[in-house]
Amino acid sequence: MRLNQRAHNQLRPVEIIRHYTKHAEGSVLIKFGDTHVLCTASIDEKVPSFLKGQSQGWITAEYGMLPRSTGSRMDREAARGKQSGRTQEIQRLIGRSLRAIIDLKKLGERTIQIDCDVIQADGGTRTASITGAYVAVHDAIKHLMDKKLISESPLIDYVAAISVGLHEGNPLLDLDYSEDSSCDTDMNIVMTGSGGFVEIQGTAEGAPFSREMMDQMSDLAAQGIKELIQLQKNVLK
């Protein structure tokens, strides 16, 4: 049985708080249970040099964990002088996921810089980051439209992400930290509101997984993401 009587196909309680801090054009605190991530979206009125003069915008992301967001304190990456491989993988994933549902041409020659900072971690920080970043980006785009800087929304679709895993052969949705640590397989899936896959990343940490298990995990993820996107819609209404 999972913690708090959670069913195998049940998300943790998800909360999405818009306008959480005052400076950013989009600022969202998202909670997947005890995992709390602050997602901000900042408008920068220029593009990286490789896109200059191409009449299109850019979206990029950075990710960090507060040193004591975790059970034992992690080194501060700014003090160590470099970001870990894990950090870089996650921030590249967040950026790709959001770019998948934005028409960069319609954004104009500007950058939306996403920052996902984990205040408290209990598994699933990258999926919470993507799901929350969507709302922050939405609000940053609303800010651009309210200020008449763009006339048409570059948002093409919704996007959200969830983890699934195999625990003693059984698929589980939305792993918390203790489940993640004991699972044989850990998979993160990013999908759009219309049900297309943006990213699928599955890793066998113990035994390899079969095609059948992959199918079951994909089904579970698709259902979870549908619920998350409904929550995004509710909070954006």
Determine the Cα–Cα distance for residues 24 and 43; give it in Å rounded to an integer: 8
The neighbouring-strand residues paired with 191 are 160, 197
In whole angstroms, how close is the CB of 30 to a copy of itself at the nearest point? 15
Site for a copy of itself in 74-113 (CB under 8 A): 76-79, 81-83, 85-89, 91-92, 96, 100, 113
Q: Residue 158's closest CA among 135, 182, 127?
A: 135
Kindly state the smallest distance separating residue 208's Cβ from a copy of itself, in Å. Answer: 2
Edge to edge, the sheet with strand 14-18 lists 14-18, 26-32, 35-44, 111-120, 58-65
What is the closest distance, in whole angstroms, from the C-beta atom of residue 11 to a copy of itself in the complex?
Answer: 20
Cβ atoms of residues 67 and 76 within 8 Å: yes
Q: Is 176 in the site for a copy of itself (CB under 8 A)?
A: no
Window contacting a copy of itself (CB under 8 A); options: 11-19, 102-110, 116-124, 142-150: 116-124
Q: Which stretch binds a copy of itself (CB under 8 A): 8-16, 30-38, 144-152, 228-236?
A: 30-38
- Measured from the CB atom, the residue of 9 and 70 that comes closer to a copy of itself is 70
SS3 205: coil
Residue recorded with tokens 């009449």 = 55
The Cα 235–Cα 237 span in angstroms is 6
140, amino acid identity: A
The closest alpha carbon to 213, from 184, 181, 180, belongs to 184
Contacting residue, 2, 10, 51, 66, with a copy of itself by CB under 8 A: 66
Please count the CA atoms within 13 angstroms of the CA of 196 that sit on its side-chain side: 8
Binding site per annotation, positions for phosphate: 86, 124-126
Binding of a copy of itself at residue 21 (CB under 8 A)?
Answer: yes
- Interacting residues with a copy of itself (CB under 8 A): 21-24, 27, 34, 36, 38, 40, 42, 44, 62, 64, 66-71, 73, 76-79, 81-83, 85-89, 91-92, 96, 100, 113, 115, 117, 119-121, 157, 187, 191-192, 194-204, 207-211, 214, 218, 222
